[in-house]
Amino acid sequence: MSITVAGRKMPVTDALRDYAEEKIGNSMKVMDIDPLVAEIVLYVEKNPANPRPACCEVTLRTKGHIVRVEEREEDMYAAIDVAAAKVVRQLRKYKTKVVDRKLRAVDETIRVDHTAPTDLDQLMNELAADDEVVRVKEIEFEPLTEEEALVKIDLLGHDFFAYTDRNSGLANVLYRRNDGGYGLLKQREE
């Protein structure tokens, strides 16, 4: 278990570093998941209108999964406390939904054809001609079931998650709806 504490545009005192390592470290020890690497970033927002300027971001990496927590409070110690509690909940969810299921499941080897035409590249080129693309990120779509994708989107805390459907081999996008719940965009089979 490795823990890194850093400050963004602020110095991190030894007392604050020790407190963050102890709180987040204890949260990680409770779940006993190996290997587990934690990165803690602490910063204070300068906006005087913000009632909770102290922010604690925690990113945990383990065996192909990422758990991310971001909490804001009035002071840094409170932000660390709330983030540590949320880390325990997220790790418990990870352990019950991912790790325990893998122990019970029978391994299946499924091949997915990744030689589909690169229509996405053509679309990105057309969009770049009209508007400026600020960031391009290349990802590898993992072959997952819908349930596994729901677990991943919860663990990452993202608004959407793209993956390859394990059964059909087609691209899917799972997204969080504003009115609650999730939506699923499926590639049409031709």
CA–CA separation, 40 and 95 (whole Å): 21
On whether the 119-186 domain is CATH 3.30.505.50, my answer is: yes
Q: Which of 13, 27, 162, 25 is nearest to 88 (CA)?
A: 27
Q: What is the DSSP letter of 108?
A: -
* 166-183 pLDDT per residue, tens: 988 888 999 988 888 899
pLDDT in tens, 66-101: 889 999 999 999 999 999 999 888 888 877 776 556
* Residue that is written with structure tokens 């470290």 in the block: 25
Q: Which amino acid, residue 93?
A: K
We find that the CATH architecture of domain 2-104 is 2-Layer Sandwich (3.30)
pLDDT single digits (tens) 143-154: 999 888 888 888
pTM score: 0.55
- What are the domain boundaries of the chain? 2-104, 119-186
* Pairwise CA distance, residues 101 & 37, whole Å: 22
Amino acid, single-letter form, for residue 115? T
